[in-house]
Structure 1
């Protein structure tokens, strides 16, 4: 019978390619605890694919608070990276300090052959990004950037509809909205707030913190095409709270046949991360990670769609990072986490800041 033969072949193939969770866990060190997204890895369910072998954090009070909160031992904590590397050789490092510190992490890890994943965005400037890129290429390490929206099922469904099915025809306009009420307003911890509102350590305010999501998704949807020009307006709607950085950013990206609109703000009435994609013959709107609406040619009204979480190991950054390190996952150029994509993200953000400062459009070479 055909069915037993097919089942045998499937089981045989699976025996040759065991799931990541059944392999030896990838040794991961966490460098920095000041970015509150670090709770994502510290409080993560143990899937057997990674093992935290060290934590670098010079602020002992912060380290004690977070390790206690997640039931981790302070024996894992080191004051700096040299102290960590003297005792531990991780396969990969996840960086959860300020954006300015990302370069320092890559400088320490790349010559040791240690792969790095930074929390979004890649760098505070193109100068930092280029140095990080050179270090990664020269030392043959993976350098990934993590965004929450990378793991949204809806965003991948939008991409599949646009590029796999050509469901809405040529792209005409993409609108990406990201942000919340403001970091002070939502109560982020002081250590995070201190650098998030520092124009050097963060590179800017909302334009960096949330503008990066839109630049990342737009670059992915455009398959790595750089915009022809960037025009931006940055505002300080709450200067009494955010005196040194912008708290609202609108970025316009021009492509030969497509327009991208990025609306990044610490002034939304509610937290949001949504994506609107309009083509010649229809539109797709990812309302969050699992809900999408669409109207395609021939539809008399909007259609509602819901999706489950993405399958393992594409459901969270750390499973994905482990898969990349193991060689089980191969990133394509301009994938959401890829270095190629995120070099363009930094270029867009830097051009946006320049545009707002000059009050004019910035043409990209």
Structure 2
């Protein structure tokens, strides 16, 4: 009897310990504070799935401002990423510095087995992206990319309808992203300094907002690479954006479809929307929650259904919940998932080709 009692106790203890380990929050370090998307994680409701254990930011004034705004202790702030990692031992790091710095974050974290999530886009260039991919694979870490539109229920509804064949095979996709421009929005100087720098950001609107459409199209077409990339850029606010483009149109062609990506810092009203046209109908992801589907009737007639979509269930509604779920083995990303490395390598290939196309004034054919 005693033997069975001890056996039961040992089994219960092991199961209980396993459950506790699964419930432990993911320890996250924050690399940089100059990207204002950092407010996403600093101002996030504490739901117990992550814990910020350290912040690497040499600008003490900036860190102090955000400390007062969000209520974190300045004891969490370190002058360098190396110092923060050594002192806090995070399991993952979220990068909120310049896009150019993404490579350095991976170079520092990957050899230590620390997983990384960067803000979009993955890198400033395909060259940087290849180095990051090699490091992630060599050291077996997850390397995710976060886009705001990944969490839009409307985009996921659009893909579900497309996959179900409700509007027929896709023929044209139009993705529009942007706002009136960083300077006009009055963003803080720490962010503005590098967002308008072609080295640190990789470009202007073509990088900042062109990546969204490339990411979505790669996902919709399940990893297909475009055959050609054609891009036109303009600088319509030279006084505000002297070193970079502020308006870009990217045209992608595939065997049986075409994508038009309109990325701009000249929209009078901020927007992130997508239209998908199939053989028998169309869907409109008008914003995060408002969605329409039209089924063709005759020449120009259609029936239309409008929807107001609820937020997605956790962990599919938040980048840091997703990061925790992936790192802790609770969730495996689908092939060419919006956050995945394989998707975002294609995004970088498209962005590099788009910048080359705009610079040379010609269509770029991607190598097979």
TM-score range, shorter chain: over 0.9
The question of 1:68 aligning with 2:68 is answered yes
How many angstroms does 1:19 deviate by?
Answer: 9.8
Structure 1: runs of 5+ lacking an equivalent: 1-14
Partner of 2:324: 322
- Residues 21 and 48 in structure 1, CA contact (< 8 A), matched pair in contact too: no
Correspondences of 1:1-365 after superposition (within 5 Å): 23-163=23-163, 165-297=164-296, 300-365=302-367
SS in 2 for 1:240: coil
SS in 2 for 1:158: helix
Q: d(CA) in 2 for partners of 1:204 and 1:93?
A: 25
Partner of 1:3: none
- Residues 22 and 328 in structure 2, CA contact (< 8 A), matched pair in contact too: no
- Residues 20 and 49 in structure 1, CA contact (< 8 A), matched pair in contact too: no
Give the paired residue count: 349
How many angstroms does 1:303 deviate by?
Answer: 1.6
Q: d(CA) in 2 for partners of 1:160 and 1:341?
A: 18
Partner of 1:5: none
Q: d(CA) in 2 for partners of 1:332 and 1:304?
A: 28
TM-score, normalised by the number of residues in structure 1: 0.93
Partner of 1:10: none
Q: d(CA) in 1 for partners of 2:214 and 2:99?
A: 16
Q: d(CA) in 1 for partners of 2:354 and 2:88?
A: 40
Change (3 A) 1:21 1:212: farther
Q: Deviations over 1:161-202 (max 9, x none)?
A: 001x11111110000000000011111110000000000000
SS in 1 for 2:272: strand
Q: d(CA) in 2 for partners of 1:235 and 1:21?
A: 52
SS in 2 for 1:200: helix
Q: d(CA) in 2 for partners of 1:149 and 1:21?
A: 31
Q: d(CA) in 2 for partners of 1:37 and 1:43?
A: 10
Q: d(CA) in 2 for partners of 1:168 and 1:20?
A: 46
Q: d(CA) in 1 for partners of 2:62 and 2:313?
A: 34
How many angstroms does 1:20 deviate by?
Answer: 10
- Residues 28 and 53 in structure 1, CA contact (< 8 A), matched pair in contact too: yes
Structure 2: runs of 5+ lacking an equivalent: 1-14
- Residues 20 and 323 in structure 1, CA contact (< 8 A), matched pair in contact too: no
Q: d(CA) in 2 for partners of 1:249 and 1:218?
A: 17
Q: Deviations over 1:70-101 (max 9, x none)?
A: 00000000000111122111010000000000
Runs of 4+ with >6 A deviation: 18-22
- Residues 34 and 96 in structure 2, CA contact (< 8 A), matched pair in contact too: yes
How many angstroms does 1:302 deviate by?
Answer: 2.2
Q: d(CA) in 1 for partners of 2:122 and 2:23?
A: 29
Q: Deviations over 1:127-179 (max 9, x none)?
A: 0000000000000000000000000000000000001x111111100000000
SS in 2 for 1:256: coil
Higher Cα radius of gyration: 2
- Residues 22 and 49 in structure 1, CA contact (< 8 A), matched pair in contact too: no
SS in 1 for 2:121: coil
How many angstroms does 1:300 deviate by?
Answer: 3.9
